[in-house]
Structure 1
Amino acid sequence: MVDYKTWMKELDDNTKLTQLAIPGTHNSAACHTALPSVQCQGESVTEQLKHGVRFFDIRVGKQFLKEGDDAKDLQVIHGKFPVKIPFPRLLKDVLKEFYDFIKDNKSETVLVSIKQEGTDDWNNDKDEFGNCIWDRYVDKQKDLWYLKSDLPKLGDARGKLVLFRRFGVKDDEKKQKFGFDAASWKYNTTEDDRGRFVVQDFCEIQNKDDISKKVKYVKDLAEKAQKSNDDKLFVNFTSGSNFFDHDCWPQQVADAMDKGGVEKVFAKGCGIIVLDYIEAHNWKLAKALIDKNF
């Protein structure tokens, strides 16, 4: 029986991350009391790690009502809204959850996606956001990060966090030591091939009919990933929502994924399946994905 907390321990060091079925979570730290439709998970990052989640979607922005350097003590954001009210969930606290886990479970590798959301007042011509992430967060714990620009084999990244960088960096020298470059893909895409990675992130759910379309897009990309002989990372978001329609909030879309049978297309090599409310039904979909690796 697989120990989901340390499931990567059973895999060969030469295994590429692109060859696996990996459970991930969308807006991973959005598990707190927040505005309606902002919450996306029912359990903490630490609990997700213990149950085998190995891809985390973290979106951050400046703290509201603060200025200057104080505002750069970044908080976790979903769109324009904080994931926790009345007090912010800080990035440094989320990263501590990763650090504590990886120090205690050196057989594991965790992909951490970091994206800028919230206010748009960053001077990105001068890499202000990137420099903030590097100087305040990554550089101080550099030994716990895999920061090369490639997708590693497990043996090269055990006991480390792989940075899946969803923000641009203009400094060419820094790019080479600042993680895997996933800075952009087409918004609301059903499939966008960026060379080294492929994304399905159809997120604009207008009505209930769009949910069945979303289920199909997830299945289609999972099947394509299994058949691919290319060394590409397939990132397949099951998430989507419409703030103005309760039937299309994250919980309802997550339920539709389960009822729509996405589990039927899970197989080794299906890539990263990024889920909302991953703890549902005793972590059913996370376990199903991990099991396919054996």
Structure 2
Amino acid sequence: MGTLKLRNCTIWDVHYWRQTKGGDAIAKPGEEGTIDFGATYTLGVKRVNVSPDGKNYRSAVNQNGIYYAVWDAGKQELEILSEHEANLYPWSSDNAYLTKWIKRLPDWMSALNGEHSLNNYSIPGTHDSGTQHTGDGIAHTQNFGISAQLEDGIRFLDIRLDGVTEFDQELVVKHGCIFCFLSFGEVLDSCKAFLNAHSGETIIMLVNASGCLYNNIESRFKSYLQEDAYKDLFYLGESMPTLNQVRGKVVLFRRFKIDDTSVLGVDLSEGWEDNKTFSLTTPTPANVKFEIEDQYKDRDTHVKLQAVKDALNNTIANSNDNIMHITFNSIAGGHGHTPYEYAWGGGGVDPIMNPSLESFLIEKSGDRRFGAVMLDYYNNQGSQNGIVEALVRSNDGLLL
């Protein structure tokens, strides 16, 4: 006797049973049902009180197996997937709970052809990546720490730094003037540990001064690069590298200014416009071109969502433009709403940014380049990683 598990990934109640042997039950959306099997049977499923019911069967199921019920909108029927099949199945809003059980994404870059420049890929990122421990409020934009983000497929980090005091050499992460209870060393330790375990990956790190007390972070930042623990961690070139050139490295995109003319990463210290969609070209001789949407003060989500869609449509339409596109799907807290409410809803926010972005990515699904997409609360509160999944899967045309 074995116990088969059926995980309902759909947004409907799913009735399931052993054909000819009964044992039927209902699995609620996002819940796991069980059924005792004494031998190999055929498993049946259908939607409850929905037309069409999408009835379907899978024969010769493993009596101790784990299976996933998903809705195939094209066939208008339920599918019963093995665990391997479920890991490859595209996310959709009908199957919102698929991401509850999907594999984490620590090695997705390792499967890509690395001969292309980083601006040729779709890359999920987080806005103000180090804010897990700020507490609820306008400074809180992430529910998970750096290590968890990397394991979940995030490959672009947005890090804002400041000194603890004017004379202290330690740098800490801040959101504006709000301390995030995270040191820069801890960020680097998380990145190093991840890359040591997943040497085929790379991490882009956009680094800026927090804009609070001690904006001149240059000397302190450089001191970290001289430490034995971190001296080989970064790619510090001024040109956009290929993925193969930076596997196992952190690629520095630098927004803070430095006092000399030395090369210290891809230089975005001049030309970053406030609350705009804009173009930026780094200094000669690198001349790296960027298109950036960062309309973080557009708290009318109709306006902000249109800006995001326009930016992504531009990225798709110009897939061979050799430009690094960065799109921020995030909105700063204000006008009575927190970043979480803008991202996932609450307080009457409509449209809601992250579900709307998911729907857009699904609509545009296929081998497309979306560039870097920066997110608040990328996977809600751990229950949904659909945006990251969609971005990662859009790179399938670049698989080895």
The runs of at least 4 aligned residues of structure 1 exceeding 6 Å deviation read none
Q: 2:172 aligns with which of 75, 80, 101?
A: 75
Counterpart in 2 of 1:30? 131
- Is 1:270–2:370 an aligned residue pair? yes
Q: 1:145 aligns with which of 230, 234, 244?
A: 234
Counterpart in 2 of 1:125? none
Counterpart in 1 of 2:76? none
Counterpart in 1 of 2:59? none
User: Do the aligned partners of residues 232 and 62 (structure 1) sit closer, same or farther apart at CA in structure 2, a change above 3 Å counting?
Assistant: same
Q: Secondary structure at the match of 1:142?
A: coil
Q: Given the two structures, how large is their TM-score scaled by the length of structure 1?
A: 0.87
Counterpart in 2 of 1:217? 307
Q: Does structure 2 conserve the Cα–Cα contact (< 8 Å) formed by 1:15 and 1:153?
A: yes
Q: Could you tell me how far apart the structure 1 residues matched to 2:116 and 2:146 are?
A: 25
CA-CA distance at 1:120 after TM superposition: 4.2
Q: Could you tell me how far apart the structure 2 residues matched to 1:112 and 1:215 are?
A: 25
Structure in which a larger fraction of residues adopt helix: 1
Counterpart in 1 of 2:389? 287
Q: Could you tell me how far apart the structure 1 residues matched to 2:278 and 2:211 are?
A: 24
Once the two structures are superposed, residues 44-102 of structure 1 have per-residue CA deviations (whole angstroms, 9 ceiling, x without a partner) of 11011001100000111121xx451x2x311111112112xxxx321111111001101
Once the two structures are superposed, residues 232-289 of structure 1 have per-residue CA deviations (whole angstroms, 9 ceiling, x without a partner) of 110100111233512xx21111121233234234663210000000122421101110
Q: Does structure 2 conserve the Cα–Cα contact (< 8 Å) formed by 1:193 and 1:199?
A: yes
Counterpart in 2 of 1:130? 218
Once the two structures are superposed, residues 113-139 of structure 1 have per-residue CA deviations (whole angstroms, 9 ceiling, x without a partner) of 1110143444xxxxx42222112x223
The residue type paired with residue 241 of structure 1 is A
Counterpart in 1 of 2:333? 242
- Is 1:101–2:194 an aligned residue pair? yes
Q: How many residue pairs get matched?
A: 271
Q: Could you tell me how far apart the structure 2 residues matched to 1:254 and 1:262 are?
A: 15
The residue type paired with residue 282 of structure 1 is Q
CA-CA distance at 1:218 after TM superposition: 0.7
- Is 1:201–2:297 an aligned residue pair? no
Q: Does structure 1 conserve the Cα–Cα contact (< 8 Å) formed by 2:163 and 2:214?
A: no
Q: Given the two structures, how large is their TM-score scaled by the length of structure 2?
A: 0.64
Q: Percent identity?
A: 28
Q: Secondary structure at the match of 1:4?
A: coil
- Structure 1: where are the runs of 5+ without partners? 123-127
The residue type paired with residue 131 of structure 2 is A
The residue type paired with residue 340 of structure 2 is Q
Q: Could you tell me how far apart the structure 2 residues matched to 1:205 and 1:224 are?
A: 19
User: Do the aligned partners of residues 265 and 32 (structure 1) sit closer, same or farther apart at CA in structure 2, a change above 3 Å counting?
Assistant: farther
Higher RCO (CA < 8 A, seq sep 6+): 1
Counterpart in 1 of 2:322? 231
* Cα RMSD (Å): 1.8
User: Do the aligned partners of residues 192 and 265 (structure 1) sit closer, same or farther apart at CA in structure 2, a change above 3 Å counting?
Assistant: farther
The residue type paired with residue 293 of structure 2 is Q
Counterpart in 1 of 2:354? 258
Q: Does structure 2 conserve the Cα–Cα contact (< 8 Å) formed by 1:34 and 1:82?
A: no
The residue type paired with residue 275 of structure 2 is N
Structure in which a larger fraction of residues adopt strand: 2
Q: Does structure 1 conserve the Cα–Cα contact (< 8 Å) formed by 2:126 and 2:374?
A: yes
- Is 1:89–2:175 an aligned residue pair? no
Q: Does structure 2 conserve the Cα–Cα contact (< 8 Å) formed by 1:62 and 1:119?
A: no
Q: 1:112 aligns with which of 192, 196, 205?
A: 205
Q: Secondary structure at the match of 1:134?
A: helix
CA-CA distance at 1:182 after TM superposition: 1.5
- Structure 2: where are the runs of 5+ without partners? 1-86, 89-103, 282-288, 345-351
Q: Could you tell me how far apart the structure 2 residues matched to 1:259 and 1:109 are?
A: 27
Q: Could you tell me how far apart the structure 2 residues matched to 1:165 and 1:42 are?
A: 25
